[in-house]
Amino acid sequence: MELLIPGLILVALMVYASTKIKKKAAQAFEPELLETEEFTILKPEGFIHPLNNDQKFAFVAYSKEFGIDAANNTRQASARISVFADANFDEICERVKLYGANIFSETSTGSGGFRTCLIEGEGLENGVPVETYYKIAAGNSKIYKLEILVLPEHKDDYMRRIKEMVESFAVK
């Protein structure tokens, strides 16, 4: 009997802590508008943005789920933003087109310092075929490249969220 009460208290605390952890984990996959000094982007539902990401990219987000078979080490969808200082906008657009095995569409807008280029296609990521979506934007003295990759078999599941991300990405 002397151990029953402390045991029940311990179990109650464990249940409480577990519930809090699950709630926080679920919140990490909720939509979130991320704003930095240089750009804004909407992280859509189902994507997580790790706080201690690779410093190689200004922004990284990816789905919780992985592909299957040959793509079992590849996320179903991922996004990242690269920043190029003192780069040429047209050269960055051309590099993206060279990377893609097959370009479906390309649209350029704007003039002067604030230009954008949207490119859709397909390519390979670590040897796995992926659908690719790029939004290249010119800021004051930098070029920003949003790159979104999705496994072809999951394209329909992520298309709305990909469009949200591309449309929301804006350079300040």
Going by pLDDT thresholds of 50, 70 and 90, the confidence category of residue 112 is low
Asked whether residue 5 falls in the same domain as residue 58, the answer is no
Same domain, residue pair 23 and 97: no
Asked if 46 and 23 sit in the same domain, the reply is no
CATH number for the domain spanning 155: value is 3.40.1000.10
Domain that includes residue 137, residue range: 31-171
Residue 69 DSSP class: G
21 and 73 fall within a common domain: no
For residue 167, which of 121, 142, 133 has the smallest C-alpha distance?
Answer: 133
pLDDT tens profile 16-58: 777 777 767 666 678 889 898 889 999 999 998 887 666 789 9
pTM of the model: 0.81
Q: Are residues 83 and 154 in the same domain?
A: yes
Tally the domains of the chain: 2
Identify the pLDDT of residue 99.
75
DSSP β-bridge partners for residue 68: none
**Cβ atoms of residues 101 and 123 within 8 Å:** yes
Tell whether 43 and 87 lie within a shared domain. yes
